[in-house]
Amino acid sequence: MPNPLFRPPRHLVKEWPEVFEDLYMNTMPVAYLDLVHLEFKDGRVWEIDIKTELDKTNPESIADILLHTLKEYKDEITKIDFKVNVERLKRDIKDSTKNIF
């Protein structure tokens, strides 16, 4: 069973339920993420600016760092929120489906 922390935020599911309803964020390519927001048991909050990092390095490196961070702090994290670039995702999906037919 996938980790419920990795579910997309409710507002995102409402915006495009046919795509996000059954999606878990561990399957979302980092290229579609703008921001990752982490909340910890001790009150700390981290915001990881994925969009800016994508300008500096490749998505695979960012995914590795993000996965390592989540694994390292998994027992301390109480909430994970993702800001997804929905417009880019919609555009790419529409472009991909055009090529099927």
Residue 27 has pLDDT above 90, yes or no: no
* pLDDT reported for residue 94: 78
Number of structural domains, the chain? 1
How many whole angstroms separate alpha carbon 42 and alpha carbon 88? 35
* pLDDT reported for residue 34: 92
How many whole angstroms separate alpha carbon 25 and alpha carbon 81? 9
Q: How far apart are the first and last CA of the chain?
A: 34
Give the domain extent around 29. Answer: 4-100
pLDDT in tens, 43-92: 999 999 999 999 999 998 998 888 888 889 989 988 888 888 888 888 88
